Amino acid sequence: MDSIFTKIIKGEIPSYKIAENDSFFAFLDINPNAKGHSLVIPKKQVDKLFDLDAETYSELFLFSRKVAFAIEKVIPCNRVGLTVIGLEVPHAHVHLIPLNNMQDASFSKPKIQITTEEFSSLAHEISKHVKL
C-alpha cells in the first residue's frame, strides 16, 4: 500500500515541494516545529531508515545536506538540525529543522502555525537555493 509520502511523490496529495531528483524528494513538513522544517524522503518506499540499502541511505544524507544548505540561506537560525523519528509515517524520512534553541528540536512542544501563503513562499524561496 502506498504511504502518504509515496502519494505526495506521485502528486496524488499536494505538498510544498522544495526539490527532487530521480531518487529523493524534499518538501515542507505540514505541522512544523519551526519555519522551514522540511522532510527529505527516498522515492523508494521503505519503512525504517536503517532498512534502506546502503547506497540509498548514503545518498539520502547527501541530498539532505543540499537541502539543509538551502534552508540556512533562507531561514535565520543558529543551525539546521537533523532528526529521524518515523513513528507516524512508515516511509523513511529525515527531518531538517532550523534550530535556535533546544525547544525547536522537541516534537512534544506546541507546533507553530503557518499560513498557506507562507508555506508556498517558504518552499519557493528554499527551492531557489538548492543546488542539486
Q: Rounded to an integer, what distance in angstroms lies between the CA atom of residue 94 and that of residue 81?
A: 10
Cβ distance to ligand AMP smaller for residue 20 or 29: 29
Cβ distance to ligand AMP smaller for residue 85 or 112: 85
**Secondary structure string (H, E, C) spanning 18-32:** EEECCCEEEEECCCC
- Find the shortest distance in angstroms from Cβ 131 to ligand AMP: 23
Q: Rounded to an integer, what distance in angstroms lies between the CA atom of residue 82 and that of residue 93?
A: 10
91 is catalytic: no
Q: Using CB under 6 A, which of the segments 17-25, 55-63, 81-89, 123-131 binds ligand AMP?
A: 81-89
* Beta-carbon count within 10 A of 126 CB: 26
Interface residue list for ligand AMP (CB under 6 A) = 4, 13, 15, 29-31, 39, 85-89
